[in-house]
Amino acid sequence: MRNWHSDGGPGVKLLAGAVLAVLAGCQAVPGPQGPANKAAAPSAAATAAPAQTAGPRHAITENRQAMDLRVFLADTRSRPDWTPVALKPSGVLYVRPTAIIGRDDLIGIQSATDQKGEGILVLILSDEGLRKMHEATAANPGLRLALVVGHTMLAAPGYAAPVSQQQLAFAVGSARNAELAARSVAGVESAPSAGGF
């Protein structure tokens, strides 16, 4: 797993924990405001897609063990001052260094699966979080939303229209990925220390 430091330079950091084993294919991101990258090319659109099954909805509360969550604008085209992030197996995603929303803009988070059994992470936005997301996506049509938990980018789907619903769903690979991310962000179980996933 490759971590990025706040100075933008890559470094290697070994982390332990169950979350790491599940998300071992993911790569990590720049420091406090920067995004990570995902092992594969960005996935399908972020939507409020219906889930076949859903886990418990976790409230977002003050919790020192909870992992940070941020959503950034991203594009496949180079943009001035946006951070380039290499994707596996190939490609580059350019991520705006300032997050649209963070964990404080959520009122809940939930893991779910789609009809194929793939993992979905559902963010339940506060009114203020929805306002920020709608404004950012309306002002920047046709880009991507990079979902970062800790220092790991879990998804970077495109969007065709401004976000207008309070539930925002991201495909995150397996159901286990979705469950661990939801519990880590909510602080339901102990999360890896400061380094993230």
pLDDT digits 0-9 by tens, 179-194: 999 999 998 854 444 3
Does residue 84 form part of some domain? yes
pLDDT band at 62 (very low <50, low <70, confident <90, very high): confident
Q: Which residue has the higher pLDDT, 56 or 102?
A: 102
pLDDT band at 93 (very low <50, low <70, confident <90, very high): very high
What 8-state DSSP symbol labels residue 178?
H
Q: Which helix (H) or strand (E) holds 167?
A: strand 167-173
Does residue 192 form part of some domain? no
pTM, to two decimals: 0.72
pLDDT digits 0-9 by tens, 11-42: 222 122 222 223 333 334 444 444 444 433 44
Does residue 15 form part of some domain? yes
The boundaries of the domain holding residue 67 are 2-186
Omega cis (within 30) before 10 = no
Would you say 168 and 46 are in contact if contact means Cβ atoms under 8 Å apart? Answer: yes
CATH number, domain containing residue 22: 3.30.1360.200
pLDDT digits 0-9 by tens, 107-156: 999 999 999 999 999 999 999 999 999 999 999 999 999 999 998 999 99
Does residue 153 form part of some domain? yes
Does residue 51 form part of some domain? yes
Does residue 193 form part of some domain? no
Q: Is the pLDDT of residue 82 over 80?
A: yes
Does residue 194 form part of some domain? no
The count of structural domains within the chain is 1
57-77: average pLDDT: 86
What residue has token string 């197996």?
89
Q: Which of 46-60, 72-86, 157-171 has the lowest mean pLDDT?
A: 46-60
Would you say 134 and 163 are in contact if contact means Cβ atoms under 8 Å apart? Answer: yes
pLDDT reported for residue 38: 41
Does residue 102 form part of some domain? yes
